[in-house]
Each structure stands twice: as C-alpha cells, then as structure tokens.
Amino acid sequence: MDNAAIEEMFETLGPITIRRMFGGKGIYCDGVILAVEVNGEILLKGDAETAPALEEAGARQWAYDGKGKPVKMPYWSIPDSAYDDPDEMARWVKLAYTAALRAKK
C-alpha cells in the first residue's frame, strides 16, 4: 500500500509518520507505533481492551510461524466494513492509537 493511501486511512488522528521496518512499514502518531503494514495489509495495534471488539467485528489477529507454532502479535486486521465507512475507520484507528498508548506505559 502506498504512503498516501495509508495517510488517508489515518487522517483523523492528524499527522502520522511512516517508516520502513522488516520488509513492511510502521505507522506512528506522536512517536507511538499504532499500526504496521505487512504484505500490503494494514494491521492495527490491539490489546486486552480492544481485542474483543476487533474479534467481534471480524478482524483477525496477526500471527507468524515461530519454529512450528504460531506466535500471536498484538496487531489485528481492519474489519472489512471499515473500508467503506470513514466514521468506522476513524473509530478503529482511534482504538488502535489508545491501545498503542496503553502499551507504551
């Protein structure tokens, strides 16, 4: 995904920074990472507070194969319905940011 499209997705937060990392991109707001782009997909930061809502909305948690067993990461796919609804996208982006702030503490 190109940077302009990513910036548009996160515009409700204000200015974001996009940095290359591990073959993908890290997406930051105020120096806090709130999402990553992996293989062309944006994954939002989640935590114990936001994971139930993400799962209920149909998002899936990112996991990679770690020596034969899946390793779950604190990032979730964006619910499909958010791509067609800017208000819903703004909600998920804000939840990702608040999860990222909690993780920073």
Tens-digit pLDDT profile for residues 23-63: 899 999 999 999 999 999 999 999 999 999 999 999 999 99
- The CA distance from 22 to 60, in Å, is 21
pLDDT of 22:
82
- The CA distance from 103 to 74, in Å, is 10
Task: Look at residue 9 and tell me whether its pLDDT is greater than 90.
Answer: yes
Residue 58 three-state SS: coil
- Residue of 9, 70, 68, 67 lying closest to 36 (CA atoms): 9
Q: What percent of the chain has pLDDT over 70?
A: 100
- CATH number (3.30.1460.30, 3.40.190.10, 3.30.365.10, 3.40.50.12780) of 3-104 reads 3.30.1460.30
33: tokens are: 């990472």
Element (H, E) at 65: strand 61-66
